[in-house]
Structure 1
Amino acid sequence: IQVIRVTEDFRLVDEPIPYQTLWQASDQLDLDTTAVVSVGQPGILRQRVRVRYENGIEISQTVDGEWVALQPVNQVIGYGTKISINTVNTPQGPLEYWRVVRMRVTSYTAASSGKSPDHPQYGITASGLPAGTGIVAIDRSVVPFRSEVYVPGYGVAFAGDTGGGVRGRWIDLGYDEDEYVSWSGYVDVYYLTPVPAPDNINYLLPTNLP
């Protein structure tokens, strides 16, 4: 006959509760800058665990109850909404801009836009203007649609196209067929004045480059 000595014990186990990060607009911070307003603090989920032993050997654990011992404190990060007007010197003369953003750059023509010449929308941009030099495709959530930008090495352009694959911090430079120049890599894009209405500005742009 084997005698099994069964005992039980209880222990408290703490599990971290992650905090959330909240974003808060601040007109005291420059556009495209951030600052920590308040530091986050993880919370604590405390569990009462029943531990079963047989002949001194742990056999099983069962959560007998749990409660929040410490509430998490959310982290708050401020992002800037203060816009300043600056000037960039260009071959066209000095230009006023209110934002400059590093972007991936490519280039296209009507022929490379994915539509056949017999398509009714061939060579027509999202703004209704014909594709060509001076028209660029952008992501509307990054560059205000129908605004003007300056791209060094390309010139002043009208953000009048969107492009099927242009997402995030990416600009696709339009060219006439006989003027095409291939672009790749990254470039600083200057958003020219006038400053759009606040509702048309995305103050918190994606930080990653495509």
Structure 2
Amino acid sequence: MNNKSYKRYLQSDKWAMIRNAIIERDNFKCTVCDSPDNLHVHHLTYENVGNEKDEDLITLCRGCHFKETTDDVSHIPEELLVHGMRNLNIYRVYTKVFHNQDPSFSKDTYYKYWYNLCRHLSRHTNIVISRKPTIHFIHEIQDFEAICGSNKSTNYRFIKECKDKNLLTTFIFSDKNIFIANPLYVLCGNKMPMILVKLFNDISTEMTSKKPL
């Protein structure tokens, strides 16, 4: 759909009905900051405009919608850091929107853990760091429990899935394993040096070469 047709569609009775239904579904408030004022309905994808599914749409206030459509989507919006998110579906939506690729987690709760984990990435390296009491690299899987808000058994399953999906890998620094996130999937920290990007490229090549013919 070209830009002219899209604008005409947004003025149609069909879109008005869809818009009202989505705003009602989202409890008449912005799903980012909970504001009930100046609500817009935002397309998460523009592949099926005119025949979009409900899950492709989300309610945003004017301010949050402006940031959605004008800012680099590789960072976490300030509203999320201030207000947080109220349910797992919103974590899932934002984890799928504010990055380059969908991690396609096996459980919805993992989207929440991934969001929390990405808030602890060094912005220029994607290395996972602890922010309390002092900044230091995360080098034990157990450290993810406090960051992700998961218990021990869930934490291990989540980290294993992340490593199996090539979302996380490790490298040796001062004789310790340092966790680093794949730049194709993270919510922030998208300026990883090429030497670290190569870690994931090498792993992807190795995983592909091991697949049965």
- The normalised TM-score by structure 1 is 0.21
Which structure has the higher relative contact order (CA within 8 Å, separation 6+)? 1
- The normalised TM-score by structure 2 is 0.21
Whose strand fraction is larger, Structure 1's or Structure 2's? Answer: 1
